[in-house]
Structure 1
Amino acid sequence: MSEKLTMPRAIADCTHPGNAPKWARMAGPEQAYNQLVATGGLYPDPAQADAVALLQELHGKLTNYRPGKRGLFGRTAQAPKGLYLWGGVGRGKSLLMDLFYENAPLSPRRRVHFHEFMAETHERIAQWRAMSDSVRKRQPHLVRRAPIDDPLPHVARAAFQSAHLLCFDEFQVTDIADAMILGRFFDWLFRFGAVVVATSNRHPDDLYKDGLNRNVFLPSIDLLKAHMQVHELGAARDYRLDQLTGAKVYHHPLGRAADAAMDTAWERLTMAAQEERDELHVRGRTLLIPRAARGAARVSFTDLCASALGAEDFLTIARTYNTLFMDHIPALSPEKRNEAKRFVTLIDALYEHKTKFVCSADTSPQDLYPKGDGSFEFERTISRLMEMQSAEYLGEEHTHGEVAT
């Protein structure tokens, strides 16, 4: 039994100035955005500029904000409203949030995919429930005015102490377990003074749409709107689609040209953002993703398909990232049937969640696994690999799972 609540690393100084891209070393999101436009990294877009202005305004309000700090007449500082930025696929929401996050004047802070954050939260709740009361009372995040057997206040305080500013990418609620705790959990976060910025493809009013017992979730929507300014990013261009369709997404044969093409596509999609190593949690196990940035992950074929991973691992990856880059897919022989089976399962998971797939391979999809156990099933994978290169597939909205109904 754990004696202490497991917490992710708090990020106060998220990037070393010498390693960060130039736009990450600006005074605020507005300056960084203007620099990207001036250098041709982004097209001028009035809708994006409007969103950046709101982020710059929040940047200014955070400059002197310190949760719990007492000001005039001994009053505790009130947290500024966060921002809920929503709009269609590929409009630049994640990039704009990154511009804000990299130099936000509030620490500690954390940028995390919302699905990953909620998975961590459920894990911490389970840890709290497994503790005895004597162990709970020794926790540094104990909320003394809250019932000791109610995990939500204490887990929320742990999350707040780890990050006063939380930036969530792809905020969606599709799971009934998330829906049932989100309102109370976020109520405690806001009480402690947390500031939240989020990107989403949906207006808050459409969260958990058609979900089971949705009426119970409706107060959660009101809570989010009370603590976050809601702004639609109505940019006309699909920037992610522009980047992916501007170059091939399936590169073969393997060699320097394919490696260079993969590097170019990665840099274009991530806008040279600072990479991090991600840790995904799958039923108590930790799945390491060596390179991740701006909602995309980059792995080798060996990382995923030569390891003892299964459908749950691949579904977690597909839900978490809107784009997966995979380097060095080999031509598969009958002796590599296990690797071929994992690759089939991976592609099925990516296809189910409309995750974009950029890869380098030894040969064309048709010749990747021509014979061996499971080669008949591999025909479906070939078909999907071909479809996943199409403009229609690349324009599909990334999904995180089905709503429980």
Structure 2
Amino acid sequence: MHRRRRFRGSPVTSLAARTAPRFRDALAHAGIGFDDAQRHAIDRLSGPTDCGYYLHGTTGRGKTALATLYFDAIPTQHKTRVHFHDFLAGVQSHIAHSGRSHSEAIRSVIGPTDAVFFDEFHVHDVADAIYLTEMLGNLCNGRTLVIATSNYSPADLMPNPLFHSRFAPAITIITGSMTVVDIAGGPDYRTLAGPPERGFGSGSWICGPPENTGTPATPVPLCAGGIKLMALRVTGRAAHLTFAELCERPVGSHQYLWLADSFESITITGVPDLASAERDPLMRLANLVDILHDRNIRLDVHSAGPPGRILDAPAPPPDVARTLSRLGSLRTPTPGAGRTRAAPGAGGGTT
């Protein structure tokens, strides 16, 4: 058994105690109905903590919504919210361009803060595991309130058995210092919500022949995070690019974040049947979906098959359930029946 770190009377315990009634008040004014698992999570988030809260569960369970309400209720102006893709990209950029140490790069990205919120906490890369272990060791000190959401329980982080032991010290920090909150055991609310008029979920996943774009246009070069991407066309704040350009080339989070910051709508054409796609392009597609969803950028996809075919790929992405849940919020045009939602994970058809 590991020994739990105690910071009684610390700034974190005081800040959490002052946040709890404000959080409860925000929940009451939100007018949202909660299921049993969510109410249990709310009770845990309202209780004392030594370092912060690690909220985990399956996709669409309201983790980010609850954590956001909690974060907004924290009574300090010195707080930082960082999506995990942004955090990792920022740390890597600081190290590569300034030669700073891991600790200095982490401090530069997070900045001086009383509270920090990490959304979509995960780790699959051994290099990222090193950054995150050092980060957690620095933050879980009784002075910074940490909130994290994840699809993974602490024990399931860094699932690759070849490298899992490299992240064991970080898991010990999470379970020994943070209050772990399980919000599993309920429906994926993303599949139950009505389609939004704007943003990510207003887009569509279109199955069938390649998009008919009429007269071929001259490709438009985009300088995306240091890499040139060739767009089929750019119209105002909307960009059309091919799957080959976005996912089959060595493109990463820096480029996808640049696209999300530069455009309000992204269309991907020429997407193959995902069952036939290789591991790296699928991981890049999942990464792109995560970033566009987080930034609420409209996504339209023209593909040879439905999103659920990704499950039949030789090597689906590690977080394929989250990817499918998000793609399930896209609408699918059905001939003669208007537009309907895709069933997440379905091999075909609509609901």
TM bin (shorter chain): 0.5 to 0.7
Provide the C-alpha distance between the structure 1 equivalents of 2:228 and 2:113, rounded to a whole number of angstroms: 21
- Residues 140 and 173, structure 2, Cα contact 8 Å, conserved in 1: no
Q: Is the 8 A contact 1:113 1:169 kept in 2?
A: yes
Helix, strand or coil at the partner of 2:158: coil
The answer to whether residue 184 in structure 2 is matched with residue 238 in structure 1 is: no
Matched, 1:101 2:51: no
> Against the structure 1 CA distance between its residues 157 and 386, is the aligned structure 2 distance closer, same or farther, given a 3 Å change threshold?
closer
Question: For structure 2, which runs of at least 5 residues remain unmatched after alignment?
Answer: 1-19, 203-223, 275-280, 310-326, 333-341
Distance 1:384 1:353, change over 3 A: same
Q: Is 1:225 paired with 2:160? A: no
CA shift, 1:206, in A, is 0.6
Q: Residue 214 of structure 1 is aligned with which of 152, 159, 164?
A: 164
> Is 1:344 equivalent to 2:270 in the alignment?
yes
Alignment map for 1:212-361 (pairs within 5 Å): 212-243=162-193, 246-247=194-195, 262-263=197-198, 302-305=237-240, 310-311=246-247, 316=253, 343-344=269-270, 352-353=285-286, 355=289
Q: TM-score, normalised by structure 2?
A: 0.57
Q: Give the drift of 1:53.
A: 2.7
Shift of 1:393: 2.8
CA contact (8 A) 1:48 1:235 kept: no
Residue-pair matches, total: 253
Match of 2:41 among 48, 51, 55: 51
Residues 1:360 and 1:186: Cα distance change in structure 2 (over 3 Å): closer
Instruction: Tell me, in whole angstroms, the C-alpha distance in 2 between the residues paired with 1:153 and 1:52.
Output: 33
Q: Distance in 2 between matches of 1:121 and 1:177?
A: 11
Using a 3 Å threshold, how does the CA distance of structure 1 residues 226 and 116 change in structure 2: closer, same or farther? same
Check whether the contact 1:328–1:360 (CA below 8 A) recurs between aligned residues.
Answer: yes
- 1:17-63 CA-partner distances (Å, limit 9, x unpaired): xxxxxxxxx972222222333xxxx33323212222333346xx8xx
- Equivalent position of 2:343 in the other structure: 391
1:183 aligns with 2:153: no
| In structure 1, C-alpha distance between the alignment counterparts of 2:226 and 2:43, rounded to whole Å | 41
Report the alpha carbon displacement of residue 195 of structure 1 after superposing the two structures with TM: 2.0
C-alpha separation in 1, matches of 2:299 and 2:103? 47
Give the match's secondary structure for 2:55. Answer: strand
Determine what percentage of the aligned residue pairs are the same residue.
25
Letter in 1 for 2:270: V
Distance 1:33 1:286 in 2: 45
Distance 2:228 2:69 in 1: 29
Cα gap change, 1:302 to 1:344, in 2 (>3 Å)? farther
Alpha-carbon distance between aligned partners in 2 of 1:327 and 1:283, rounded to the nearest angstrom: 18
Deviation at 1:208, TM superposition (A): 0.4
**Equivalent residues in 2 for 1:127-146 (5 A)?**
127-129=97-99
In the superposition, relative to structure 1, how do residues 327 and 228 fare at CA in structure 2: closer, same or farther (>3 Å)? same
Letter in 1 for 2:344: E
Corresponding position of 2:318: none
Note the alpha carbon deviations across 1:359-401, whole angstroms, 9 max, x for none.
698xxx8xxxxxxxxxxxx7xx242479764313389xxxxxx
- Measure, in 1, the Cα distance between the counterparts of 2:250 and 2:237: 15
Change (3 A) 1:124 1:318: closer
The 8 Å contact of residues 32 and 99 in structure 1, kept in 2 or not, is answered as yes
Q: Distance in 1 between matches of 2:130 and 2:284?
A: 28
- Residue 283 (structure 1) shift: 5.7
Structure 1: tracts of 5 or more residues without a match = 1-25, 62-79, 131-150, 248-260, 268-281, 288-298, 330-341, 366-377, 396-405
Q: Which amino acid aligns with 2:305?
A: S
